[in-house]
Amino acid sequence: MAAFLASPSALRSRGVLGINRRISNYVQRYNPRSLLPRVDDKALTAELAEAHGLPMPRSYLTLRFNSEVRGLERRLEGLPDFVVKPASGSMGNGIIVARRMEQVEGAPRFAVGGGRVWELKQLNYHVATILSGLFSLDGNQDRAIFQERIECDARIARLSEGGVPDIRIILLRGVPVMAMLRVATLESRGRANLHQGAVGIGVSLASGVTHFAMRRGHSLSHHPDSGVALLGVALPLWPECLTLAVRVSDALNLGYLGVDIVLDAKRGPVLLEGNARPGLAIQLANQAGLAHRLEAIEALPELPMTVEARIALAQSLDP
Amino acid sequence: MRIFFIGLVLAGFLVPSATLYHKTQVLELPLLPVEATDNWSFQLRFNHGSEPTSAEAPSELLIPMPSRRTEQRFQVNHLHWRAERADVVGRNGADFLRLVPRRQAKPGTSIALLSGHLVAQAARPEVPPLGPSAETDAAPYLDWKTFVSEEDREALEALRVLLHGMPVVREGEARDRPSALEIVKRYFYFIYEEISPHRQGETLSQAISRRRGSSFVRAKLLVMLARQQGVPARIAWGAYLDDRTAKSSLPLRFAVEIKDGAGWIPVDPNRGTWGTWDSSFWVIARDIMAQGALFDSARINVDLRVQARRVVTGQGKENYSDVLRGHAFYRMFSLLSLPIQQQSYFALLLLLPISSLVLASLRVVVGIPSFGIFTPVLLGLFFEEASLAVGLAFFGIVVLVGALGRALLDRLRLLAVPRLAIIMSLIILGMLLFAVQNQALGWVAPEQLSFFPLVILTVFIERFSVTYAEEGVFNTARDLAGTLVIALATFGVLSASELKLFLLTHPETILACMSALLLLGAYRGYRLSELRRFAALGGAPSGPSGSVGTTTGRSGTVASPPPGSVAAASEDLADGPVNVDGNADDEDAAIEPGGKA
Stated length of chain B = 597
The fold adopted by the segment(s) A8-56+152-317 is D-amino Acid Aminotransferase; Chain A, domain 1 (3.30.470)
Averaged pLDDT, groups of 10, chain A, 319 residues long? 79 91 91 90 88 90 84 83 83 80 81 82 86 74 86 89 89 95 86 86 94 90 91 93 95 94 92 91 93 93 89 87
Q: Is residue B424 part of a domain?
A: yes
Region B431-460: mean pLDDT is: 72
pLDDT band of B496, cuts 50, 70, 90: confident
Judge if B239 and B349 occupy the same domain.
no
Judge if B302 and B433 occupy the same domain.
no
Q: B480's torsion region: left (phi>0), alpha (psi -120 to 50) or beta? A: alpha
Tell me the pairing of strands A166-172 and A256-264: antiparallel
Using CB atoms, which residue from A27, A132, A204 is nearest to B588? A27
Cβ of B558 within 8 Å of Cβ of A287? The answer is: yes
B567's CB contacts (< 8 A; 6+ apart) are none
Give the Cα-Cα-Cα angle A301, A304, A306 (nearest 5 degrees).
Answer: 165
Residue of B nearest to A136 (CA): B594
Which chain B positions have a beta carbon within 8 Å of A35's beta carbon? 595
Q: Is residue B351 part of a domain?
A: yes
- Of A135, A24, A148, the C-alpha closest to A80 is A148
The DSSP H or E segment spanning B126 is: none
Which chain B positions have a beta carbon within 8 Å of A176's beta carbon? none
Cβ of B535 within 8 Å of Cβ of A5? The answer is: yes
Count of Cβ atoms closer than 10 Å to residue A238 Cβ: 20
pLDDT value, residue B64: 53
- CB-CB contact of B270 with B197 (8 Å): yes
Q: B149's torsion region: left (phi>0), alpha (psi -120 to 50) or beta? A: beta
Give me the domain span that covers residue B383. Answer: 342-535
Count of Cβ atoms closer than 10 Å to residue B264 Cβ: 23
Judge if B359 and B492 occupy the same domain.
yes
pLDDT value, residue B593: 33
Cβ of B545 within 8 Å of Cβ of A11? The answer is: no
Judge if B48 and B82 occupy the same domain.
yes
Tell me the residue ranges of DSSP E strands in B491-593: none
Residue B464, pLDDT above cutoff 70? yes
Residue B210, pLDDT above cutoff 60? yes
Cβ of B472 within 8 Å of Cβ of A1? The answer is: no
Query: How far is CA A73 from each of CA A100, A148, A286, rounded to the nearest angstrom?
Result: 12, 16, 43
Q: For a pLDDT cut of 90, what percent of chain B falls above it?
A: 9
Domain ranges of chain A: 8-56+152-317, 59-148
ipTM: 0.79
Judge if B404 and B450 occupy the same domain.
yes
- CB-CB contact of B215 with B252 (8 Å): yes
- CB-CB contact of B288 with B294 (8 Å): yes
pLDDT value, residue B243: 64
Judge if B323 and B431 occupy the same domain.
no
Phi, psi torsion values for B133, nearest 5 degrees:
-65, -35
pLDDT band of B581, cuts 50, 70, 90: very low
Residue of A nearest to B537 (CA): A287
Q: Is residue B22 part of a domain?
A: yes
Region B448-462: mean pLDDT is: 71
- Of A204, A131, A124, A116, the C-alpha closest to A162 is A116
Q: What is the mean pLDDT of chain B?
A: 69
Q: Is residue B154 part of a domain?
A: no
Stated length of chain A = 319
Judge if B249 and B325 occupy the same domain.
no
- For the CA atoms of B291, B294, B297, B298, the dihedral, rounded to the nearest 10 degrees, stands at 20
pLDDT band of B183, cuts 50, 70, 90: confident
- Of A158, A138, A224, the C-alpha closest to A186 is A224
Judge if B375 and B517 occupy the same domain.
yes
Residue B17, pLDDT above cutoff 60? yes
pLDDT band of B284, cuts 50, 70, 90: low
Which chain B positions have a beta carbon within 8 Å of A212's beta carbon? 559-560
pLDDT value, residue B293: 46
Query: How far is CA A154 from each of CA A26, A27, A202, A240, rounded to the nearest angstrom?
Result: 35, 35, 19, 17
Residue B122, pLDDT above cutoff 70? no
